[in-house]
A and B are shown apart, each in its own frame.
Chain A
C-alpha cells in the first residue's frame, strides 16, 4: 500500500472498525429475526460514553486502557505500512499485555479473572497468527504484506487449511461465542472491561473496533490482493462468525483449549503435508 493510501486508512481504521461492529450487530439481530440497532449505533454509544463524567479507579488503570488502544492502533498502522508481519503480531501481543496489567491492577474479582482469561485466550489465538505468517512465508518467501498481496496465486488457494485454522481462532480473538471466555458477560461481567467507565470505557470500545480491523486485515492477506476474492472472504467470514456466535453456547476455557489447539495443529500439519506433496509433484 502506498503511503497516500496507508495514512488515511490508518486514520480511518477506528471508523471502519466501528462500522464493522455496527454491521455485526445488525446481522446478528437479523439472524434472530430482530430488527437490531442502527448501523451507526456503536458510534452513538461512543459519543455517549465520551460525554459522561469521568469515574476512574486509579490513574494507572485508566491510562493503561489508553495505552492498549494506542498500541493496537500502532500495530494496525504497521500492518498498513507493509511492516514485518511477525513484528505486527508481537506489537499486538504488547497491547494484550497492557490490558492484562490493567485488569490485574484493581481490586475486582471479575477484572482479575478477565485478565487471566485474556491470557488463556491469547494462548489460543497468538500461535495461530504466528503459524499463519510463517506458512505465508514458506509459500511466498516474504514476511511483508506487499509481497503476498502482489502474488498471482492467492494464499486462500495454497493455504486453505491454515485459513481454516485462522477461522477457528477468530472467535477467540474477537470474543465471540463459543469462545468469548475473556469477556463472558453472564459469567464475569465483561472481564477486564468491568472497571472502566465513561471516556476510558469508550477507549476500550474503540480498541474492540481496532481488533476487528486487525483481524480482517489479516484475512485480506489471504485474498492475495484480488478484490473479488477479498470481498467473498470478508462476507463469508463475517456472516459465518455471526451465525456461529448466534448458534453456539460458550465453552469453558479448558474446553476451548482442548478443542482449538489440536484442531489447529492438525490443520497446519495437513497443509504442510499437502504443500510438500505438491512441491515433490512439481
Chain B
C-alpha cells in the first residue's frame, strides 16, 4: 500500500468514524471532535496532493462488493419507504424502478478484473475541495446550529451528517466502478434529503422530497447507462471507458451526462437546489461549494475525453450555455440573498459543464479551476449569508443597505466572495479567462461561436448581479456618517467560529490568487493531461516564477499583484480613510425634497422567463438524448 492509497483509504474511513463519534457526543466533544476531524481530513487531502505517485488502483474482495451492493438496495428500500410514507408516488415509483433495474443489472455485471477504486490527480484535487472547503463549512455549522431551536442531540446529528457527507463524496470521487458511482450518487441524494429536511417543518419536508425525486431521475439515468454499458460494452469502469478507441456508442454517455445535469441543477431541474434554501445555511454552503452539485462538473470532466467533438458535446454546450445566461437573468430578479447565490451557482455550474464538454485541455483546465475556486468563493458567500441570518437577522438584499457601516467584516467577506468570481486575479476568474482563451484549441470557428457568445454575455450578466449587491451593501450611507474623528469605525462582534471560517476561506482565496501560476501548471494541467491520457511534449501552460505563461499570452506576476492590490486592498483601505479639511454637506439631489425610498432595481421578468424557458430546456434535454441515440 503506497502513501496515496493510504491517504484515500483514510479519507474514505475517517469521516464516517468521526461522524459516528460526533453523533454520540455532547457539546464539548462535538466541538473538539469536529475540529480534529476537519483538520485531519484537510491535512490528509493536502498530503494526498503532494504525493509523487499520480494514480493508484485497488479492488475490494467480492464480499466487500456484495456488501456495497446490499447498501445500494438498502438506500433504495429507504427511498421507497420514504415514498410510501410521504405518499409521494413519484419517489416510490422511481425507487421501485431503480430496484428492479439494479436487480437486473447486478446479475449481469462483468467481472473483468478492473480495479474498482482508482485515485488519480483529479480525485486528489477533489479531495482537497471536499475536505478543505467542506471541512470549513462543517466547522462553521458548529456555531450556527446552536442558534437553531433544536435539541443537543439533533445539533450533534447535524454536524455528524455534514461530516459523513464528506465521506460519501470522498467515496464518490475515488470509485472507478460506475455501479459504485451510482451507490455514491444515491448516497449523496440521501444525505441531501436528510439535510434539506433538517428543520422538519412543512416546507422543508416538501423541498426535501423535491430534491429526492429530482435527483432520483439522475439515479435512473445512471442505471440506464449502466445497463447499456453492461449489455453492449461489457465494461462498467471509467478507466476502461476512457480507453475506448474510435467511434464510441454515445447513448450510455448521454445518460451519464443527463445524470450530471440533474445533479448540477441545470434548468429545468434547478428546483431542488433552490428549494434547498429552506435548510439551515451550512447545508446550502456545503451543497453548493464542495459536495453534491460539484458531482456534475466532476462527472463531465471524466466523460469529456469521450464526448469531445461529438454532437453530444455540442448539445451539452447548448443546454449549459442557455442555462448560464438564464440563471444570471433569474438571479437578477431575485431578492432573497440565498436564492441569488443559488441561481449564480446554477449558472456557474452551467459554465463549468460547458467548458468541460468542449473537451480540449484548455477548456477542461478552465472547468477544473472554476470548479475548485468557485467552491471556495461560494462557501465564503454562503457562510456570510448564515452570519447575516443569525447575527443580523437579514435575509433579503433590500435589507442590506448600509451593511458596510455596522458589519464591515461581513461586507468585506461578501465583497471578496463576489469579486473572486468576477475579477482577476482570483482562481475562478482565471478559469473564466481560460474558458475564453479556449479559442486556441483548434476547434472550428463556427463551433466556437456559441461558447464564445455565451461566455462573454453570461459573465457580464453575473458581474452585474454581483456589482449590484456590492453596491447595495454600501447603499445610502448617512451624509454625516464618519465626518469627523468622533465616529471611528466600529467592527461588528462575531463569534470566533464565524470569524475563523471567514478568514480561513479568505486566506485560501488570497493564497490561491498569488500562487495561481504554480497551482495551474503543477496541479490542474497535469490532472487534465492525465484525464486526456496525453503525454504532451510541449506544455501549453507553464509557470514562469509566479507568472502564468501560455503560448499566446502571459499574465505577469506584477499584474496579479496589482489586481490583488486594487481589488482586495484598495476599497477597504479607502473605506477606513477619513478626509480632512473638507466640508461635509447633505446630498444635492438636484434640490429634490422627496425622500428617495427605492432600494434597488430587480429585473422583473424572472418568473415569466422561468416558465417559458423550462419548456425550451426540457426540449434541450431531449436533444441531448437524441444526440446520444444518433451517436449510437
Contacts and interface: CB of A to CB of B under 8 A. Distances in A.
Given A104-B475, A123-B461, A58 B482 contact: yes
A54 interface: yes
9 contacts: A53-B583, A54-B582, A60-B482, A63-B575, A67-B574, A84-B555, A87-B559, A130-B436, A142-B553
B585 A109 contact: no
A60 B445 contact: no
Interface string B578-606: 11011111111110101010101100000
Contacts of B429: 90
A180 to B, nearest CB: 17
Contacts of B463: 93, 122, 126
Contacts of A74: 562, 566
B575 A122 contact: no
Interface string A93-105: 1101110110111
Interface string B466-510: 011011101111111111000000000000000000000000000
Nearest to B585: A55
Given A57-B585, A112-B596, A123 B464 contact: yes
A107 interface: yes
A269 B445 CA distance: 10
B537 interface: no
Given A62-B579, A122-B464, A276-B445, A57 B439 contact: no
A138 interface: yes
A183 B123 CA distance: 51
A245 B179 CA distance: 65
A255 B474 CA distance: 29
B479 A105 contact: no
A194 B467 contact: no
B456 A127 contact: yes
Most chain A CB within a 10 A radius of its CB, from B467, B468, B470: B467
Nearest to A82: B554
Contacts of A83: 556, 559
B566 A109 contact: no
A9 interface: no
Interface string B43-77: 00000000000000000000000000000000000
A70 B15 CA distance: 49
B329 to A, nearest CB: 11
B577 interface: yes
Interface string A219-254: 000000000000000000000000000000000000
Interface of B: 404, 422-424, 429, 433, 436-437, 439-440, 444-446, 448-449, 452-453, 456-457, 459-461, 463-464, 467-468, 470-472, 474-483, 552-556, 559, 562-563, 566-567, 570-571, 574-575, 577-579, 581-590, 592, 594, 596, 598, 600-601
A120 to B, nearest CB: 8
Contact of A58 (B424, B468, B483): B483
A6 interface: no
Contact of A134 (B439, B556, B559): B439
B464 A137 contact: no
A103 B601 CA distance: 14
B579 A137 contact: no
B598 A112 contact: yes
Given A58-B479, A103-B471, A127-B456, A67 B445 contact: no
A63 B592 contact: no
Given A58-B482, A67-B570, A134 B456 contact: yes
Contacts of A151: none
Interface in A142-157: 142-144, 147
A197 B588 CA distance: 10
Given A103-B471, A106-B479, A194 B445 contact: no
A84 B460 contact: no
A275 interface: yes
Interface in A124-177: 126-127, 130-131, 134, 137-138, 141-144, 147
B453 A101 contact: no
Contact of B436 (A62, A66, A86): A86
A256 to B, nearest CB: 14
B440 A97 contact: no
B461 to A, nearest CB: 7
Top 9 A-B residue pairs of the complex, sorted by shortest distance between their CB atoms? A109-B596, A104-B471, A143-B553, A130-B456, A108-B587, A276-B445, A63-B574, A108-B589, A54-B582
B596 A108 contact: yes
Interface of A: 53-64, 66-67, 70-71, 74, 78, 83-84, 86-87, 90-91, 93-94, 96-98, 100-101, 103-112, 115-116, 119-120, 122-123, 126-127, 130-131, 134, 137-138, 141-144, 147, 189, 194-195, 197, 265, 268-269, 272-273, 275-276, 279
B464 A78 contact: no
Contacts of B552: 137, 141-144, 147
Residue among A57, A96, A138, A195 with the most chain B CB within 10 A?
A57
Contacts of A86: 433, 436-437
A194 B479 contact: no
Contact of A56 (B424, B468, B563, B583): B583
A10 to B, nearest CB: 13
Contacts of B577: 59, 63
Nearest to B562: A74
Contacts of A93: 422-423, 463
A56 B479 CA distance: 9
Contact of A110 (B460, B471, B476, B590): B590
Contact of B477 (A58, A96, A109, A123): A58
B587 A107 contact: yes
B467 A97 contact: yes
Contacts of A70: 566, 570
Nearest to A197: B588
B459 to A, nearest CB: 8
B362 to A, nearest CB: 12
A111 B596 CA distance: 11
Contacts of A90: 422-424, 429, 433
A105 B588 contact: no
A122 B446 contact: no
A183 to B, nearest CB: 14
A98 B582 CA distance: 21
Given A130-B436, A134-B452, A279 B589 contact: no
A78 B559 contact: yes
Given A57-B479, A59-B577, A60-B574, A131 B453 contact: yes
Contact of A105 (B449, B475, B578, B596): B475
Contacts of A84: 553-555, 559
Given A93-B463, A103-B471, A104-B475, A127 B457 contact: yes
Contacts of B422: 90, 93
A1 B477 CA distance: 44
Contact of B571 (A62, A98, A119): A98
Given A106-B477, A115-B471, A268-B453, 15 more contacts: A56-B582, A58-B480, A62-B582, A86-B436, A96-B467, A97-B467, A104-B475, A107-B476, A107-B479, A110-B589, A126-B460, A127-B457, A142-B553, A147-B552, A276-B444
A60 B583 contact: no
| Residue in A58, A110, A269, A279 with the greatest tally of chain B CB atoms within 10 Å | A58
A101 B424 contact: no
Nearest to A78: B559
Contacts of B587: 57, 106-108, 111, 195
